[in-house]
Amino acid sequence: GAGVSQSPSNKVTEKGKDVELRCDPISGHTALYWYRQSLGQGLEFLIYFQGNSAPDKSGLPSDRFSAERTGGSVSTLTIQRTQQEDSAVYLCASSLNYGQGSSYEQYFGPGTRLTVT
Amino acid sequence: AQSVTQPDIHITVSEGASLELRCNYSYGATPYLFWYVQSPGQGLQLLLKYFSGDTLVQGIKGFEAEFKRSQSSFNLRKPSVHWSDAAEYFCAVGISGNTPLVFGKGTRLSVIA
């Protein structure tokens, strides 16, 4: 079936602008994760959703970052007043964590490369 | 909090040679352990995972990894490397099935003829 998809694949924005990054998880996956991959920092966890609620937001670097998930499916990561240090690849992953046949494997999307100029 | 160390930033091996990528973790109990591979411009693909049971796990593309509790290690191995294995490899740990993963910094593998 279809994997995790993310859009846009690339985004170039000016410093101070707001951006929205979208993630479509694998159908039926209950958990959704956002990570950020930047040079020198590796992969950093940002936020985790179980259904539509976010039990763990501990990785969001500042209050300029927010995320929501609707219908237990699509998630949007919003960065307000972007800064150059926000430039990175933003990765989304989903997993099926509950119920029969649950799997703890996180399946990753291709990422959105964000460049703030 | 748990942490993951991949001591080797970059490794170069000859095609056909064997490979071992090191991974050490810090956590008080047995974590969930994963190896992912990332090719240039691509997302992460799961190679293999360990949750419990047999400490030697087999994955895709001919990779295997061995969990050694006494050494807090989960090293990735492949007996014969192919040029297509050139990529970045990430070790990751989770403390339960539905928690975010903590990743190592990655090891970049180059394969030469």
Is B104 or B54 the better-scoring residue by pLDDT? B104
A50: helix, coil or strand? strand
- A 10 A CB-CB count for B22 gives 16
The B residues from 4 to 23 touching A (CB cutoff 8 Å) are: none
Q: Residue B97: pLDDT above 70? A: no
- For A24-46, how does the pLDDT look when each residue is reduced to its tens digit (9 = 90+)? 999 988 899 999 999 877 899 99
Average confidence score pLDDT of chain A: 91
* CB nearest A50 (choices: B98, B101, B105): B98
| Structure confidence at residue B34 (pLDDT) | 93
Is B50 or B76 the better-scoring residue by pLDDT? B76
Quickly state the pLDDT bin for A98 (edges 50, 70, 90): low
Q: How far apart are CA A53 and CA B2, in angstroms?
A: 24
| Structure confidence at residue A102 (pLDDT) | 54
Q: How far apart are CA A64 and CA A78, in angstroms?
A: 8
Does residue B35 sit at the A interface (CB-CB below 8 Å)? no
Q: How far apart are CA B29 and CA B43, in angstroms?
A: 29
Q: How far apart are CA A44 and CA A39, in angstroms?
A: 11
Q: Residue A1: pLDDT above 80? A: no
Tokens, residue B25: 């973790």
Contact A81, A64 (CB under 8 A): yes
Q: How far is A1 from chain B (nearest CA, A)?
A: 15
Contact A15, A116 (CB under 8 A): yes
Does residue B60 sit at the A interface (CB-CB below 8 Å)? no
Quickly state the pLDDT bin for A55 (edges 50, 70, 90): confident
Instruction: Tell me the one-letter amino acid at B16.
Output: G
Q: Residue A71: pLDDT above 70? A: yes
Q: Residue B96: pLDDT above 90? A: no
Q: How far apart are CA A15 and CA B104, in angstroms?
A: 30
Contact B78, B15 (CB under 8 A): no
* CB nearest A43 (choices: B42, B45, B90): B90
Tokens, residue B29: 């109990």
Quickly state the pLDDT bin for B110 (edges 50, 70, 90): very high
| Angle at A99 (CA atoms; ends A1, A108), nearest 5 degrees | 40
Does residue B90 sit at the A interface (CB-CB below 8 Å)? yes
Q: Which residues have CB under 8 Å from A74's CB, separation 6+?
A: A22, A23, A24, A25
Number of helical H runs and strand E runs in chain A:
0, 11
* CB nearest A104 (choices: B36, B51, B105): B51
| Residues of chain B positioned with their CB less than 8 A from the CB of A105 | 34, 46, 49
